[in-house]
A and B are shown apart, each in its own frame.
Chain A
Amino acid sequence: MVRSLSKLVVLKQDHKLNMKRFVRLAYYEVFNVQPSLLIALAVSALISLFLTLEGSFEITERQLFIMYILGVYFPILIALLTNNGLMREREGHTAAFVCSRVNLGVLWLRRLMLGFFTVAIFMTVLLALMNHLIPGLFPPIFALTLLVPALFFSGIMALVSALSCSTTVGIIAGLFVWLILYFWSPSLYTLFGPRYFPFLEWAFFFRYKAPISALSFNKLFYTITCLLLLAITFCLHQRNRQVERFSRQ
């Protein structure tokens, strides 16, 4: 009891967060902690822009290929790269130290949110650029909706990683779910329809020709699922059980 109280006291040491500090922190978390995410975003942007500008494609092919990348592969790539936001502390044996400065739940959430904030900005700029080059190529709302599948797979990976205290287990679980959902997508689409289909943006342009009306329900459903996954993960980290478990291993 005394030990946990003292831990709480340490965790309560909070600094005042002004704008300047926040920007510095964000810069550090994005550019220093997650450089691979930026590389992945740059590569995705290059491929998407190439597909937008390549002259040999029909407009429908262009839409299909770009959404295939941004709607199917991009989420798993982002999930892979954001999953080790906190787990790297464990693998670098710095979790106990970090824990003395900041709540692990807060740190994890901050890194995840900053990562997704970066992705959101990237997606907005990319879609705006693509729509500028070919007007009406994609609905602007896709800048937000495309984040949902990425968040969903990140949520799965983060939860399993937090439960198992292993980045690899989380990655395997997330990749496995993605594999199942992707390779069985025709059956899933037939069984559950567009409202529960995880790669809906792709399904709009693929042979399923999903109705755009399904977008709001689909995104609402997956957003709630994501929030649930993230909330559970946050609670797991928040209680700082990880530190005790890390130290046991």
Chain B
Amino acid sequence: MKIFLRSFTAQWKLFVRDKVNWLFSLLVLVVALVTNPISELPKTTALGYIENIARITGYIACLLFVILYLRFFLNETAKGHNHLWSRNAFGDDYLILKAGVGIAGFLTLISPTVCLTFVLSVAFFGIANALSAIWVWVIILLPPVCFVIGLCSLIGLLINHGLIASGVIVIYLGFVLARPVDLGNLLIFMPSLQMNSALIGFGPETEMLIYQRLFYVCVPLFLLTIAVFITDLRLPRVKPKHSWIAVSAMAVLSVAALSLSVYWGSKLLNLQRLRSVEPNLQTRQNLESACADFQSYRLHLELSADGAIASGLAEVELSSGRDLSALSLLNAGLAVDRFEVRDGDPIRIELQYHGRFVVPYYAYSVYGLPKEIEQIGYAPGAYLEKNLIFLQKLGEWHPYTLCSPDEITLILPADITINYNSADTESIDGDMRRLQWQQASDHILLIAGAKYQIEEQENDQIYLSPNPGLREEDRNEQYGTFFRLMRQHLDDVEGSGFTLIPLPLIKQSFLESQALSLIIPERSRQIDYIWPDDMARYSENVAMDVLLAWWCRQQACPDLAYGLFSRGSGIDYSYEIGEEASEAEEEDTSSLPLLYYAVLKLVEESEVSGFDREALMDSYSSLLRNKLPWLYSPFSFTPKNVETLIMLYDFDLQYGSEAFWDLFLMAYEKANEGWIEKNVLLELIGTLSEQTSGIETGP
């Protein structure tokens, strides 16, 4: 052992003293700093920052480190080291020594990057957050480095030529790294995570990530044990006699590593199968029509401490004999225990289920999805984990997902902190809490978890994540401002308190509990997209989100939300009316300019710097008169919509702000699923113009 440690130290010194290796260290540091500039730190979180740095370091490091490690690994196999190979001890420990020094050397080389980012994290996010982010370094970076070292050791031994081995490994790793990023793919040793949240960490990806990392800890161990077996064949050493004990121990280790790799790999693939389900659009459509036949729909749900559904029971009373067996949209992670149909009048159906709720990939993917999928919003409608539990009224946590339950009973451990609930009754029985809803009207039923901090501001309650950064404060301030202004104009309420709750995963805001609570997306692809470059446009997006939450508070209008926030590719902002559609076939989307003009008024009133409503409207007028070829707008419209927008502007100029908000309220009354027809809007404008000016304006 003593000799091994001395050899280890000597080899590590050799590795560290090689100046070439420090070039790698410098490159990693430069890439880390360039891709994550210090100026952007206030706008991110400790978790997001460290994850980004660790991932980029991993990408660059894994490929470049191959060259350094192989050079180091095969150093003594070149000519001129015969005296070393004449000693058995050197050959015996060679592989373990090199692999160990490889890991220690890698850690030494990235230590400047780790130290600098740690110091920056402490400075920007506080010591507690910086310390808690250390595990991110370990979990993201260590398994791929172990894998690279294991692979290089095996291939290096087999090929025994630094350059060719480097070429083979770099090409393999390059291919793997360039593949479409997917956590569930066993080849991907350096995953890119799409989800990082201050409230739920890597959220739905956490379990996948842990399996993936464990798989990539076991695979290198297996590769190294295979390498040990071929050491005698490939190294220029005096062949020693191995004891049976040593050979057996190595064989057992090898089998154990292989078994564990298969075990974690299969767990990962099983989870991936559940996670990669796509929404069943046909069943959704059928279920929507079936909901009308429900006489009653009752749910009884029991949650365990870790957020799993210990037992769920759905009871339906049906007026018609419709077959509901194929209409269940229960989450892929939940298993049906019993499905029973009792004939009679009405027909009674009972469906019992249990399991762990798995959030499907499409529900939180940051990449553009087809319109049909984007339109359904956050379809799972729940997140059930020990860090955070939330339930929306409609969601895949109950079988007839799109049907509004008449009665919900939820039982969960009493020690789970409840942050928000819209239950009608609440009681505690022993160590369990019972919540009940009768004809729940709110979208959000429950938010529970210990991670929220609550900040009281005069009458308002603001929920914050554990490490609120500057960005979160700015976001909450923006939402708060527009919420107040909106209430002032549309609900005629001034100065009353409200609750603002950011919630991970959801895609749009909800206005709840008689419009006193605004539940907003913690991170929104649609809204955060342009942050932080343009405050005026960011404000427009936030104001639109708040206004949309008000507009859609009593009726679901996903189509309208999609029309406003269709940012799949990041380039195409428009409401996707088929380009080839003739004017007659074109959908009437007059709600879009109406909502947008209201947004412009709110943003102007909130005095956002850099925003000029008049100049913007002049630009739209020029666009309409073909004097401008193109205009950047967060919500680009059809020419008809621009026409409506200009008309609303003229109306506002002529009759004033109060008349406009009256028009807005009247339009809301006339809207159907969020949409209002242009004719109706014109009629309202005519009526209001007459009322305000007292002059006949039309036939």
Contact = CB atoms under 8 A, between A and B. Distances in A.
B24 A172 contact: yes
Given A169-B20, A172-B20, A176-B27, A182 B178 contact: yes
Given A168-B67, A172-B24, A73 B175 contact: yes
Given A36-B161, A166-B20, A183-B59, A171 B166 contact: yes
B60 A80 contact: no
Contacts of B171: 73, 76-77
B71 interface: yes
Nearest to A73: B171
A166 B67 CA distance: 12
Interface string B139-179: 00000000000000000000001011011001100110110
A179 interface: yes
A1 interface: no
Contacts of A166: 20
A39 B174 contact: no
Interface in A11-51: 36, 39-40
A84 interface: yes
A180 B20 CA distance: 20
Interface string A123-143: 000000000000000000000
Interface string A43-83: 00000000000000000000000000000010011001100
Interface string A169-195: 101100110011011000000000000
B414 interface: no
B120 interface: no
A77 B171 CA distance: 8
Contacts of B163: 36, 80-81, 84
B418 interface: no
Contact of A36 (B64, B67, B167): B167
Contact of A176 (B60, B164, B178): B60
A107 to B, nearest CB: 19
A61 to B, nearest CB: 15
Interface in A135-175: 164, 166, 168-169, 171-172, 175
Interface string B20-38: 1001100100010000000
Contacts of B324: none
Interface string B63-78: 1100110010000000
A77 B165 CA distance: 11
Nearest to B18: A168
Contact of A168 (B59, B68, B174): B68
B178 A172 contact: no
B64 A168 contact: no
B23 A169 contact: yes
Contacts of B24: 172
Interface in B612-654: none
Contacts of B68: 168, 172
B64 A175 contact: yes
A1 to B, nearest CB: 33
B148 to A, nearest CB: 14
Q: How large is the interface on B (under 10, 10 to 19, 20 to 34, 35 or more residues)?
A: 20 to 34
Contacts of A77: 167, 171
Interface in B1-56: 20, 23-24, 27, 31
B616 to A, nearest CB: 26
Contacts of A164: 20
B23 to A, nearest CB: 6
A182 B161 CA distance: 26
Residue among A39, A80, A166, A171 with the highest chain B CB neighbour number at 10 A: A171
Given A36-B164, A80-B167, A172 B23 contact: yes
Contacts of A76: 170-171, 174
Interface in A211-239: none
B684 to A, nearest CB: 44
Contacts of A40: 167
Contacts of A39: 164
A168 B161 CA distance: 14
A84 B67 CA distance: 14
A172 B64 contact: yes
A241 to B, nearest CB: 19
B167 A172 contact: no
Nearest to B65: A172
> Which of B71, B161, B171 counts the most chain A CB atoms within 10 A?
B171
Nearest to B21: A168
B22 to A, nearest CB: 11
A176 B170 CA distance: 12
Contacts of A171: 67, 166
Contacts of B23: 169, 172
A78 to B, nearest CB: 10
A179 B60 contact: yes
A36 B177 CA distance: 24
A63 to B, nearest CB: 17
B390 to A, nearest CB: 35
A214 B639 CA distance: 35
A175 B171 CA distance: 11
A172 B27 contact: yes
Contacts of B31: 180
Nearest to B78: A91
Nearest to B166: A80
A184 to B, nearest CB: 9
B229 to A, nearest CB: 26
A69 B266 CA distance: 31
B20 A179 contact: no
A73 B27 contact: no
A40 B177 CA distance: 21
A175 B170 contact: yes
A168 B163 CA distance: 10
B64 A176 contact: yes
B167 A175 contact: no
A142 B27 CA distance: 33
A149 B59 CA distance: 22
Interface string B56-97: 000110011001100100000000000000000000000000
B137 to A, nearest CB: 20
Nearest to A171: B67
B60 A81 contact: no
B638 to A, nearest CB: 27
B698 to A, nearest CB: 50
A168 B20 contact: yes
Most buried by B among A76, A77, A166, A168: A168
B236 to A, nearest CB: 18
Contacts of B164: 36, 39, 81
B220 to A, nearest CB: 22
A183 B170 CA distance: 14
A185 to B, nearest CB: 10
Contact of A175 (B59, B63, B161, B177): B63
A208 B443 CA distance: 42
B141 to A, nearest CB: 17
Given A39-B164, A73-B174, A179-B64, 15 more contacts: A36-B161, A36-B164, A76-B171, A77-B167, A81-B164, A168-B20, A168-B68, A169-B23, A172-B23, A172-B27, A172-B68, A175-B63, A180-B31, A182-B178, A183-B177
27 contacts: A36-B167, A40-B167, A73-B171, A73-B174, A76-B174, A77-B171, A80-B166, A80-B167, A81-B164, A81-B167, A164-B20, A168-B20, A168-B67, A168-B68, A169-B23, A171-B67, A172-B20, A172-B64, A172-B67, A175-B64, A176-B27, A179-B60, A179-B63, A179-B64, A180-B31, A183-B59, A183-B178
Interface of A: 36, 39-40, 73, 76-77, 80-81, 84, 164, 166, 168-169, 171-172, 175-176, 179-180, 182-183
Q: Which 3 pairs between the two chains have the least Cβ-Cβ distance?
A: A168-B20, A36-B164, A80-B167
